[in-house]
A and B are shown apart, each in its own frame.
Chain A
Amino acid sequence: MTVTDAPKIITGRFGYDDSHTLERYEATGGYDGLKAALAKSPAAVVEEVKSASLLGRGGAGFPAGVKWGFCPEGVWPRYMVVNGDESEPGTYKDRLLMERDPHQLIEGVLIACYAVGCSQAFLYVRGEMALAQERIAQALNDAYAAGHIGKDIHGTDFSVDIVLHWGAGAYIVGEETALIESLEGNRGVPRIKPPFFPAAKGLYLQPTIVNNVETLSNLPWILTNGATAFAALGAENSKGTRMFAVSGHVRNPGVYEVEFGVTTFRDLLYAPVYGGGIRSGRELKAVIPGGASAPWLYPEHLDVPLEAKTVGNLGTMLGSGAVVVFDETTDMVRACLRLVRFFARESCGKCTPCREGTSWLEKILARILDGHGRPEDLDLLLDVSDNISVGINWPPMQTTICPLGPSAVSPIASALMRFRDEFEAYIGSPVAITVPVKGAGFVGPVHEEVAADA
């Protein structure tokens, strides 16, 4: 077990009942990070965040400091948009940060605005998170009154407003360009990139930095303790700590802040301080490592570290840290259907392969579960999948503007490659699959690999 004693960088205040109040925040070093930032030049703050190698915590994992550098010179104003529209099945780490430590997030937003030169910040919070909205509104009001936000912050000429903006229920709006569309008052339909990379043409077609709640929540600690201290934690390409949510068939489901890169899946699922093992003495069957679009992992992968590059090389991803655990009682065909149904429902409808394809995939799966599956349905599922995500790989080759459509392919390819026997049981006969699946992350059953070696 490699459960380390890495500091709780972002969940350190969660033990206090009043962790969300300004009083508790200021009593525990709150707004010291902002003070440290204001004592440096904005460019120096960007450098600090780059040296920390803070990867985005929203799912894509792009280095935050590098993204900040993408805004074109001389194009003003710039905007900061905080992505608090967390809707990924299997995690709610951002909700916890917003409810329990809103000031930490606010301070992170201020540091980022100072560094990048953003004239206004919008804090987009998922509509269904009523308590988070209340806590953030209160925190903003208190922080304004205390002079931490608004005009001439801390007696300097750094001025920025943070506007709380409520979402209204749409998973796709978590995609950064759809979020920007929503902020402009439109349907949450993604924009094509290029040219609409937000740093180039974002909100109101101005340079815009979109950062995740957890990413920004790391900034106060980094500015107070230094990039070196942050980069001393974790592994080469996975610095610092991260929040992972472990749900499903573990004894202690929960959201845990762990040291990034060195903690393994085995630690996360079995360590007494984390998942505590599979419930009711059962066996692990499969695990979703990083949200609904991540190809599944299996018992043979337990010693893989929660490390971005390693997991990427396996053909899957850590995404936003949503780890869902299935024991031997799980019907994988049913699980597959439910994940595909999610994507079909949440499709914005713009791109034909996603709008049509995800619905067809859902219908075929529902038909199989209803007992009306045909042998040719398995190839049909993969053929439709290949039309959404050419080659059936992860990361996907998109035929679509955003990766939502291709995401629906992951549970299908995972389930078919590993649990074909369960589909065959529904269909009532053995079925050969002839459509090729390229992604290394779509792993076949272990005994087949052993047979190949023999």
Chain B
Amino acid sequence: MSRFDEVNLETAMEILSRYPRKKSATIPLLHLAQEQHGWVSDASMEHIAELTDTTPAEVLGTCSFYEMFKREPVGRYVVNICTNISCLVMGGEELLHHAEQTLGIKGGSTTPDGMFTIEDVECIAACTEAPCLQVNYRYFHRITHEGFDDLVDDLRSGRRTDEIPPHGTLARIRQHIPAARAAGPADPDTGGEPVWLTSHAATGAEGETSS
């Protein structure tokens, strides 16, 4: 059940094809597993180990290092509230406390109805718009306590489903490298000197006019 489904397996193979070494695909595949289920299970990690020619222990070792990978189910909406320095001096901690009181849970927990998880996070990179938060990694700037209440209301009532996918879905646009255009991964064991370094060494591109 937690292994990649047919569609995601195809995506996984495409992702793997871009890297010279399979293990490099570990983090992208963990994201893909989380997109499929909303969180990362042991069974997902076992499948990723097979696909990357590593062991489940190695995959777990990598997975457990990174904040974004949840190894237990989380809420549909993961609300990350920043309390780092710029947000701190603009009311970030007060916003976090308000969120905890409003939703009835502490940072790090999920509401019993499975809708919301709150996290007290480090800088989410919107410092001039403090205090700020992310819901499933989509930004909300200069959030007042009333603004937070409105946001929770919107999310409960489904008003923002277009804007905010469920937890696990990160970017909704993926890179695709068309086979006809691909230069191909550079194998560290067999890769040689790039041809253009010698062919362009004299003055520049030979016979090339702007395309």
Contacts and interface: CB of A to CB of B under 8 A. Distances in A.
Do A and B truly interact? yes
Contact of B84 (A136, A187, A338): A338
Contacts of A149: 181
Interface stretch (B4-12, B101-109, B194-202): B194-202
Dominant secondary structure at the B interface: loop
Contacts of A206: 188, 191
A161 B185 contact: yes
Contacts of A255: 128
Query: A interface, by DSSP: helix, strand, loop or mixed?
Result: mixed
Given A86-B125, A186-B62, A326 B181 contact: no
Contacts of A254: 128
A187 B57 CA distance: 12
Contacts of A230: none
A424 interface: no
Contacts of A242: none
Interface string A21-37: 00000000000000100
A125 B147 CA distance: 29
B34 to A, nearest CB: 9
A292 interface: yes
A204 B21 contact: yes
A400 interface: no
Interface stretch (A300-308, A310-318, A339-347, A444-452): A339-347
A10 interface: no
B158 interface: no
A49 to B, nearest CB: 16
B130 A158 contact: no
Nearest to B202: A41
B68 A127 contact: yes
Contacts of A345: 122
B21 A155 contact: no
A6 to B, nearest CB: 21
Given A117-B193, A151-B183, A166 B85 contact: no
Interface stretch (B25-33, B110-118, B149-157): B25-33
A334 interface: yes
**Chain A interface residue number, banded:** 35 or more
B134 interface: yes
Contacts of B193: 74, 76, 117
B64 to A, nearest CB: 8
A145 B177 CA distance: 9
A245 B128 contact: yes
Contacts of A38: 200, 204-205, 208
B13 interface: no
Nearest to B185: A120
A161 B183 contact: yes
B90 A248 contact: yes
Contacts of A168: 27, 30-31, 66-69
A137 B11 CA distance: 15
Contacts of A163: 18-19, 175, 177, 185
B66 A330 contact: no
B2 interface: no
A334 B89 CA distance: 10
Nearest to B211: A154
B196 A42 contact: yes
A185 interface: yes
Contacts of A187: 61-62, 65
Nearest to A135: B173
B191 A133 contact: no
Given A90-B85, A129-B137, A155-B211, A170 B130 contact: no
Contacts of B124: 128
A9 to B, nearest CB: 20
A203 B20 CA distance: 10
Interface in B20-48: 20-21, 23-28, 30-31
A393 interface: no
Given A89-B84, A128-B137, A345-B122, A170 B67 contact: yes
Nearest to A187: B65
Interface string A243-257: 001111100011100
A39 B88 contact: no
A178 B128 CA distance: 28
> Top 8 nearest A-B pairs by Cβ distance?
A77-B191, A169-B67, A168-B66, A119-B186, A133-B171, A185-B26, A185-B23, A92-B125
Interface of A: 35, 38-44, 74, 76-79, 86-92, 95, 114, 117-120, 126-131, 133-134, 136-138, 140-141, 144-145, 147, 149-151, 154-161, 163-171, 182-188, 203-206, 245-249, 253-255, 288, 292, 322, 324, 326, 330, 334-335, 338-339, 342, 345-346, 348
7 contacts: A42-B200, A128-B80, A130-B137, A205-B188, A248-B85, A330-B89, A342-B85
